[in-house]
Structure 1
Amino acid sequence: MVVAALPLSVCSAALAEDDEADEERSRLSTVIFGSMEAGPTKTFLSVGMKRAIGGGLAQSGFRLFLKAGGSQEQTRRQSPRGTTYKAETQTLLGYEWRIGDTFVALYAGSDVQSERRDEPLGPSLIETRYGARLQADLWSTPLPGMMFQASAYASTLDRRLWARAAPGWQMPLGFYVGPEVEAYRERDYRKLRLGLHLTGLRLLGLEWRLAGGWQRTSDRPSEAYATLGLHWQR
């Protein structure tokens, strides 16, 4: 009787732990995230949040997406180069479909950018523009030990188009490693990135993403880039 009861009690404890984990995940309703991109001529910082409306993130439902960012970059390649400062905000509303560990989300909303150019030989130029933005996100685990993440958006500001795709394979410590490709276009400007990413590293209660590689743009020679991202669920 004791021998039979032992595996039963272990099984019950495991089920209780699973139930507690599922309950904890169901209570999570907000993701707070941030990122930093660095290159030889430009630095970009951003922070934002995704919040479930009327439920938790573990279920399908409506989402509110807010993001704000700022950058500093050279205005021109040759002297006098000048400095351009940009600030942008997006306020988006969308719906997220959840199937197990896979989710697909589609958002739409406003896209606002303010820009200030400090010219060495003249006055600063300040401009604010408004547009609309459509965005899609995908996270999937198609095979055991493999993930696939993709994001894309289109904005009426300068007719911008951006997309990123990153498959990854799980390492013994739990995070994923793999290649990434990213493409961006606006009016007469183009950018293509090819690199490697490390996604899902858990440290200090946060999940981290590191990436780096080589980029080519339509107005500069090829150069290195690096990105750092993090998110926190609560």
Structure 2
Amino acid sequence: MQSYRTAPKIHTRRPTALIVLAGIVGFASTAHASEIDTLLFGSLDAGGDTFLTLGAKVGLTSLAQEGFVALATVGGGRRAESGADGPRARYTVAAAALAGHQWFFDWGVVAAYAGLETTSEMLIAGPTRDALPTRFGLRLHGEVWARPTAATLLQATAVAGSARDSLWARLAWGYRLWETYLGPEAALYTDATGYAKWSLGLHGTDFALGRYSLRASVGLQTESRRARACPYVTLSVWSPL
């Protein structure tokens, strides 16, 4: 099992990507294993807001080798806000289709992607529903999975998108115990609405349940519009197709 397989926390989304994702998975399932390698993944982030992401990572050769990689994600979520007329909820559906390359070194793996993203949102305040225009933009996504020593893992991810002028970044360190990396993590998210959140917690990465690999995180999260920190939980699952 590769130590550097992504458990993407990749923020992404929407009907367009559903088509892209279905096409990628369908093509992968009919191709010979030596021709294409596919990793399916999903993640659930629950805290001050909630977001669910599903996706696929596809390599024209083995994902355990250096080369071209495609990434497609789709998801949706909800967060509470305070508007001019009082409390409201913002529902988001989003998607992205990216292409990039991964490089393997003695110390770890670096991956970089670029592509398109789209986002649709609706604001709900009591009986009032306000559908916002669908936005399209560019997305940049970078990852580093490094092993400073044989027993440690350092992982960094950054995702920037122009559809919502958003930025999400995560940094985590782990020490290997019982085939799992355990340690601290910190993450940041911000977008053009003025919303921002910071989180600090503990994670367990790359523990296995059958053919599935998982990452679980727990900690405290602070949002720009909340006076107090609240707990958060993140669960990511990935498995080869």
TM over 0.5: yes
Of 181, 187, 210, 2:186 maps to: 181
Cα distance, 1:37 vs structure 2: 0.8
Larger Cα-atom Rg: 1
- Consecutive unaligned residues of structure 1, counting only runs of 5 or more, are 1-24
Structure 2 residue aligned with 1:14:
none
Structure 1 residue aligned with 2:238:
231
Provide the aligned length of Structure 1 versus Structure 2: 207
Of 56, 65, 69, 2:71 maps to: 65
Of 74, 83, 90, 1:84 maps to: 90
Spell out the pairing of 1:85-164 with structure 2 (5 A cutoff): 85-99=91-105, 102-164=108-170
In the aligned structure 2, how far is the partner of 1:90 from the partner of 1:101?
Answer: 29
Structure 2 residue aligned with 1:31:
39
Q: For structure 1, which segment, 148-157 or 118-127, has the greater mean C-alpha deviation from structure 2 after superposition?
A: 118-127
In the aligned structure 2, how far is the partner of 1:214 from the partner of 1:119?
Answer: 27
Judged with a 3 Å threshold, the aligned counterparts in structure 2 of structure 1 residues 42 and 77 are, in CA distance, closer, same or farther, namely: farther
In the aligned structure 2, how far is the partner of 1:59 from the partner of 1:132?
Answer: 27
TM normalised by structure 1 equals 0.81
In the aligned structure 2, how far is the partner of 1:28 from the partner of 1:152?
Answer: 26
The answer on whether the counterparts of 2:155 and 2:171 sit within 8 Å (CA) in structure 1 is yes
Cα distance, 1:27 vs structure 2: 7.8
In the aligned structure 2, how far is the partner of 1:159 from the partner of 1:115?
Answer: 14
Of 44, 58, 73, 2:51 maps to: 44
In the TM superposition, structure 1's runs of 4+ consecutive aligned residues that sit over 6 Å from their partners are 25-28
- Tell whether 2:209 aligns with 1:203: yes
% same residue: 33
Q: For structure 1, which segment, 203-212 or 186-195, has the greater mean C-alpha deviation from structure 2 after superposition?
A: 186-195
Amino acid across the alignment from 1:74:
A
TM normalised by structure 2 equals 0.79
- Tell whether 2:206 aligns with 1:212: no
Amino acid across the alignment from 2:205:
T
CA RMSD of aligned residues (A): 2.2
Structure with greater helix share of residues: 1
In the aligned structure 2, how far is the partner of 1:46 from the partner of 1:82?
Answer: 23
The answer on whether the counterparts of 2:41 and 2:55 sit within 8 Å (CA) in structure 1 is yes
The answer on whether the counterparts of 2:112 and 2:143 sit within 8 Å (CA) in structure 1 is yes
SS at match of 2:164: helix
Structure 2 residue aligned with 1:167:
173
Judged with a 3 Å threshold, the aligned counterparts in structure 2 of structure 1 residues 109 and 69 are, in CA distance, closer, same or farther, namely: same
